[in-house]
Structure 1
Amino acid sequence: MTHRRAVAQRLRAAAAVVVLGLALTACGSEPQGDNVDPDLVDSTEPPTLGACRVLAPTDVEQAANATKTVDCGARHTAQTFHVGELPAKFDDAAYDDEAVGQHAYTTCSKRFAEFVGADESLVLRTIVSWAWFRPSEQAWDDGARWFRCDVVGGTATSEAYVPLPKTAEGLLLGLPEDKWLVCARGPVFEQTEKVPCSQQHDWRAVSAIKVGVPGDEYPGDQVVASRTDAQCRIAVQAWLGYPASFEFAYTYFHEAEWDAGNRRSVCWAKTTE
């Protein structure tokens, strides 16, 4: 049997997720999404927990969002799963204080996993993700210190979001449907596009292995890549049922993602299943 070459690839997906959380605009009349609700623009009132919206990736690029809410029984691509109040230490913080973004990122990450019912591995292997929004700059100046976490039907690399169910709560519990899991299409992993596993695909994200533990200093790209290669080879072979030959790829992340708390890499199996 022909032995195929194992393919390795590095991506910056997690970094892009962080960027979603930290994106800012400078002016006070910054965009607040498409199809805005005038009552929400520059509002100091905390958003409504559980509200649904039709958001697009361009909306998520903005720091603030005042898009109109829709009935969750209608088509929507986003749902608010957490509304938080910033700690008192941020009362006098600047609008673009990085510590604000870090607080929201940490909180939303944890609440997202709890809301959709995913563990650390599954969070990195789903086509759904989250974004967070702060008040507008005007509302911030008026004393608003809330932040909003939304689950969205896509990732940082999605060109468009897919509709979500009436509620995304528990979406990934048990054995998630393939339409919520991430696969890739393309013979060579470096040139693939990410698609839901319910679509035709050539690669499936089958595991997200640990390459460090909380408290570890970042060991460097080379060490993370080496650990990832060794562990993914084992994980993918086991997932495929220990074939004599197989192809695998992996996604490992870098220092920015490590500092944000990620200690995992994603293992991909070459498979149409």
Structure 2
Amino acid sequence: MRLAVALTAVMVTAGCTTAPGGADGDLTDDWPPPPAPSPFRPAAHACHVRLPETASAADRPVSCDQVHVSETFHLGTAADADVPPAPGTPGARAAYRECSDAAVTFTGGQWRTARLAVHVVWPAREAWSRGARWFRCDLTQTDLDGYGRSGRSGSLEGELTRPSPLRLTCFAPTVDGGTVTAMRPVACAAKHRAEFAGLWHAPDVAYANLQAGTARAATACRSVIARFAALPDDADMQYRSGWISYNPTRTEWLAGERRVRCFLYFAERTWTRSLRGAGPSVLPAG
């Protein structure tokens, strides 16, 4: 009997546990669940050794004082969707417009009049699936055709508020059979045969149509050159100077970029001055 009573006491005691400080001893109902991890969001101002197709947490920005290829200067917020916007869609075009406008503020001038290009970098699909709804706006130092990118050191912030070697001014072109194969930037006081005159806004046509014909570009660039050089915009413009134009890249065109770069061009004559405001006496029709 004593043994039975002792065992019962032990069993009762074992079934009644207590916790210090008045806690109820339940280890699951008093702790909030851990917060869900926040989606990756890149830094708004950072430089990168390459321009990626998409961005993720694996990216490792570098100081802008180091040699880099692209610079993130703005972050935008994308509309919610199952996947990032495809090239040419309204969402992708809206992002490019925002980046383009932000680039004017960041550089302090119209970036399309310099050897610069604007790029939209979307989150990697994994980041998007976890809730990332941003897009990155990057600037690169580029060739006139928009394809070649060169490394640089130093931020592009305020670059166009001061004299800059990236501004489009005078050039020594290399022409092979009517095709411009190179445009080497030179000081306007040095011998040159081409000079940047300005931009014209192309119509919203298929990219193949833009690339195929020259009549539209010739008319538009001659008007740009006439304004630049203070010349009558008439039929005699074709006798005063030649022209060169650089279209947006196919990627830029899909994004909604329509500004075409126009240059005065002379096949044989060289200049050692700018032709801005030169007038008919310097550029006669004869």
Equivalent residue for 1:249, pick from 232, 244, 248: 244
Equivalent residue for 1:108, pick from 95, 99, 113: 99
Counterpart CA distance in 1 for 2:132 and 2:108 is: 30
Equivalent residue for 1:146, pick from 134, 137, 141: 134
Counterpart CA distance in 2 for 1:105 and 1:225 is: 27
Counterpart CA distance in 2 for 1:129 and 1:184 is: 21
**Structure ID, larger Rg:** 2
Please report how far the alpha carbon of residue 258 of structure 1 lies from its aligned counterpart in structure 2 after TM superposition.
6.6
Letter in 2 for 1:84: G
Q: State, as a whole percentage, how many aligned pairs show the same letter.
A: 24
Please report how far the alpha carbon of residue 272 of structure 1 lies from its aligned counterpart in structure 2 after TM superposition.
6.0
8 Å Cα contact 2:83/2:125 also seen in 1: no
Equivalent residue for 2:147, pick from 133, 157, 176: 157
**3-state SS, counterpart of residue 126 of structure 2:** helix
TM-score by length of 1: 0.61
Deviating more after overlay: 144-153 vs 250-259: 250-259
Partner of 1:269: 264
TM-score by length of 2: 0.59
1:178 aligns with 2:145: no
Q: Deviations over 1:61-111 (max 9, x none)?
A: x23354321222333332211112213xx2x42246454433322221221
Partner of 2:225: 236
Number of matched pairs: 214
Deviating more after overlay: 147-156 vs 263-272: 263-272
Partner of 2:179: 190
RMSD: 3.8
Gaps of 5+ in 2: 1-37, 232-236, 273-286
Partner of 2:123: 135
Equivalent residue for 2:72, pick from 74, 80, 88: 80
Gaps of 5+ in 1: 1-42
Letter in 1 for 2:39: T
Please report how far the alpha carbon of residue 163 of structure 1 lies from its aligned counterpart in structure 2 after TM superposition.
0.5
Classify 1:185/1:67 alpha carbon distance in 2 versus 1 (closer, same or farther; 3 Å). Answer: farther
Counterpart CA distance in 1 for 2:97 and 2:184 is: 27
1:208 aligns with 2:195: no
Q: Deviations over 1:11-53 (max 9, x none)?
A: xxxxxxxxxxxxxxxxxxxxxxxxxxxxxxxx93211111122
1:32-47, aligned counterparts within 5 Å? 44-47=39-42
